[in-house]
């Protein structure tokens, strides 16, 4: 477990800079000790939280995601996340060395003793743990004379476990009661954050590298909100509507916008079939207008929304969102990897005609082919590189026959001195000309091919 040390900020009035982006709180749970620790610590250290989702979080446990680098995830326990928030703030009054060490000891004790007793349901160990707190308390704070991380982690565990009876412990009862306003404020803050996330059409994973998926989340949320308003159920399938993969796409003409969504048409059809069509909706463009109204004028991802044709919703991306989208790639130091099923790919490239002399132009195919291979490998495919040299066909029989006729002293001799034929293109053209002009040469060339493919050593 990481230690807080002297970095543990102590003043509840401490606030972060207004320019700081909120920390993303993923998978918060009502009445859960880890969630309470995180929200309480965020209020204690003045760190703003925003409830949302992130593809970087692979489990259903509560986690924190750092906005400047969405791949930085803090999870595994409420203590670690609360401590991370304290370090993120890194400001305000510092604790004395004694109180700082005492705070660390309480956090470690809560994890290894109190929580262990609760997890194993060992009543004897639990009674010993509660007695330890009761006899150690000197007031209503565990470390020093003000609220610290020690109060947050220990009291959060005490109030969220229903099996704990504090009535035999008057000191513990006073401890919990004194922090009840902070606990209540924390739950209210969480409820407000979750309500804001639920009502907002911007239920988007900010760490998602695909712009198409981001836009799909924006419009899908708007459609779900419309369906909920009309039917009372937040479920597209309740009206027989299935979200197709191609409902959001790039605009063919950039003058019209960056992306377009065609969800209004199938939504109109589904509402009509279900018999729950709003009275003011007569055609798909009316549904499109409702979607635009739900998304709003000040959406953090899209702007300049308009209706076109039979119900297409056109939009442009917010410049600030694009900046954040690119900045996360810069912060990670690498481009995102598309999520595609791995395949085995064969790339045939370079493949020069070996009957002719190579030149710098052949490098183009080689470079392009190798670039394609590296891109495919980067996204997870298994790549086979193939350099096809072609069949030993007529052109070789033609070249062999021309060599025999023009250089009879060389052909067929192992120790013969080869002629100077550095310009293979000229050599090839001369052989091709004779092939076209002379039936005898053509016939001999064809016989050479037969012998060549049969393995004739000559």
Mean pLDDT per 10-residue segment, the chain (458 residues): 34 36 82 90 88 73 76 82 83 66 90 91 92 90 89 92 88 93 92 71 61 90 87 79 90 93 95 89 95 87 94 94 83 76 92 75 90 94 87 80 82 60 76 92 90 78
Say if residue 28 is in the same domain as residue 156. yes
Looking at the domain assignment, is residue 50 inside a domain?
yes
Whether residues 130 and 103 fall in one domain = yes
Same domain, 356 and 316: no
Domain match, 444 and 306 both: no
Q: How high is the pLDDT of residue 55?
A: 63
Assigned domain for 7 exists: no
Distance (Å, rounded) from C-alpha 372 to C-alpha 349?
10
Looking at residue 144, what is its pLDDT? 84
Closest CA to 385 of 397, 400, 403, 371: 371
In a domain, 108, yes or no: yes
Q: Give the end of a domain, one of 321, 347, 375.
A: 321
Same domain, 185 and 96: yes
Asked if residue 425 belongs to a domain, the reply is yes
Please classify residue 391 by burial: count the beta carbons closer than 10 Å to its beta carbon, then call 0-12 exposed, 13-18 middle and 19+ buried. Answer: exposed
Look up the CATH number of the domain holding residue 242: 3.30.1360
CATH code of the domain containing 61:
1.20.1050.130
| Same domain as 226, residue 297 | yes
pLDDT of residue 421: 64
Q: What is the pLDDT of residue 19?
A: 41
For residue 277, tell me if it sits in a domain. yes
pLDDT at 308: 94
Q: Is residue 332 part of a domain?
A: no
Domain endpoint, select from 199, 233, 266: 199
Identify whether 248 is part of a domain.
yes
Looking at the fold, whether 231 and 371 belong to one and the same domain comes out as no
The tens digit of pLDDT for each residue in 125-137 reads 999 999 999 999 8
The domain boundary residue, chosen from 167, 199, 231 = 199
Residues 379 and 399 occupy one common structural domain: no
Quote the number of domains for the chain.
Answer: 4
418 in the same domain as 307: no
| pLDDT value for 306 | 95
Are 163 and 38 found together in one domain? yes
Q: What is the pTM of this model?
A: 0.49
Instruction: For residues 259 and 115, state if they share a domain.
Output: no
Are both 135 and 170 inside the same structural domain? yes
Domain that holds residue 374: 337-386
For 412-427, letters b (16+ CB in 10 Å) and e give eeeeeeeeeeeeeeeb
Is residue 204 in a domain? no
Q: For residue 343, what pLDDT is reported?
A: 95
């Amino acid at each position: 477990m990481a230690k807080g040390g002297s970095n543990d900020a102590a003043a509840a009035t401490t606030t972060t800079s207004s320019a700081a982006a909120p920390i993303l709180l993923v998978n918060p749970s009502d009445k859960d000790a880890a969630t309470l620790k995180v929200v309480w610590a965020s209020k204690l250290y003045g760190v703003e939280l925003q409830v949302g989702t992130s593809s970087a979080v692979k489990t259903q446990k509560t986690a924190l995601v750092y906005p400047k680098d969405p791949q930085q995830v803090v999870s595994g326990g409420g203590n670690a996340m609360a401590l991370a928030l304290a370090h993120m703030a890194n400001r305000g009054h510092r604790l004395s060395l004694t109180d700082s060490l005492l705070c660390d000891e309480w956090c470690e004790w809560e994890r290894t003793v109190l929580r262990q007793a609760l997890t194993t349901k060992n009543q004897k160990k639990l009674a010993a743990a509660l007695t330890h707190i009761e006899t150690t308390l000197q007031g209503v704070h565990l470390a020093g004379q003000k609220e610290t991380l020690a109060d947050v982690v220990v009291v959060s565990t005490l109030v969220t476990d229903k099996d704990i009876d504090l009535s035999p412990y008057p000191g513990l009862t006073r401890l919990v009661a004194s922090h009840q306003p902070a606990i209540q404020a924390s739950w209210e803050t969480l409820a407000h954050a979750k309500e804001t996330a639920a009502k907002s059409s911007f239920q988007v994973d900010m760490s998602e590298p695909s712009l198409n998926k981001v836009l799909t989340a924006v419009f899908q949320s708007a459609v779900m909100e419309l369906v909920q308003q009309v039917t009372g159920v937040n479920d597209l399938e309740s009206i027989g509507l299935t979200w197709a993969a191609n409902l959001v796409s790039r605009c063919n003409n950039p003058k019209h916008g960056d992306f377009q969504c065609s969800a209004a048409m199938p939504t109109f059809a589904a509402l009509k079939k279900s018999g729950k069509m709003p009275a003011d909706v007569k055609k798909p463009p009316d549904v499109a207008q409702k979607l635009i109204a739900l998304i709003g004028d000040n959406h953090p991802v899209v702007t300049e929304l308009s209706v076109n044709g039979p119900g297409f919703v056109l939009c442009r991306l917010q410049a600030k969102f694009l900046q954040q989208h690119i900045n996360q790639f810069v912060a990670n130091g690498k481009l995102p990897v598309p999520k595609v099923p791995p395949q085995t790919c064969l790339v045939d490239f370079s493949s020069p005609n070996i009957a002719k002399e190579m030149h710098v132009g052949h490098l183009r195919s080689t470079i392009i082919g190798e670039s394609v291979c590296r891109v495919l490998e980067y996204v997870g495919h298994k790549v086979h590189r193939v350099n096809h040299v072609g069949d030993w066909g007529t052109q070789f029989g033609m070249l062999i026959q021309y060599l025999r006729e023009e250089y009879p002293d060389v052909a067929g001799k192992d120790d013969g001195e080869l002629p100077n034929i550095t310009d293979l293109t000229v050599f090839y053209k001369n052989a091709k000309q004779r092939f076209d002009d002379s039936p005898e040469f053509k016939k001999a060339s064809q016989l050479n091919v037969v012998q060549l493919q049969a393995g004739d050593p000559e």
